[in-house]
Amino acid sequence: MSLEDELTCSICLSTFDCPVTIPCGHNFCQDCLLASWEDSYSCPQCRTVFDTKPELKKNTGLCAYLLLLEHICINTTMSGWSEVWSLLPPPFSAACWSGG
Ligand SMILES: [Zn+2]
Ligand SMILES: [Zn+2]
């Protein structure tokens, strides 16, 4: 799985917007997840069913990471995410991902 895949919401298939983590460990955009929970509470990715509405944990590590990437995009002439990924130093991703 590439880094770009890991930062992609499996519901809207674009980069996370306000990522949240649910108890099974999967991440989604907050809005995507809440929209999918109109009828029942289950993970759109692994299909784990929750009896009650799980607490949404904001994935702060992931949020910070995305904000930084956004910053890089805005302040450079790079147009695509893939260009940004290629410039990131390797330890960066590991450090950010432990924050969730
Ligand atoms: Zn989404
Ligand atoms: Zn899941």
Q: What is the pLDDT of residues 15-67, one digit of tens each?
A: 898 899 999 999 999 999 999 998 899 999 999 999 999 999 888 888 888 88
- Homologous superfamily of domain range 3-97: Zinc/RING finger domain, C3HC4 (zinc finger) (3.30.40.10)
CB-based neighbours (< 5 A) of ligand 1, an ion: 9, 11-12, 29, 32
Cα 76 to chain centroid distance, Å, stands at 23
Q: Domains of the chain: which residue ranges?
A: 3-97
Flag whether pLDDT at 95 surpasses 70. Answer: no
CA of 74 to the centre of ligand 2 (A): 32
Higher pLDDT, 86 or 16: 16
Number of the ligand closest to the Cα of 35: 1
pLDDT on residue 15: 87
Token pair of 62 as six digits: 């992931």
Contact 43, 35 (CB under 8 A): no
Token pair of 46 as six digits: 């692994």
| Interatomic CA distance for residues 99 and 76, integer angstroms | 26
pTM for this predicted structure? 0.68
Q: Which of 14-23, 73-82, 86-95 has the lowest mean pLDDT?
A: 86-95
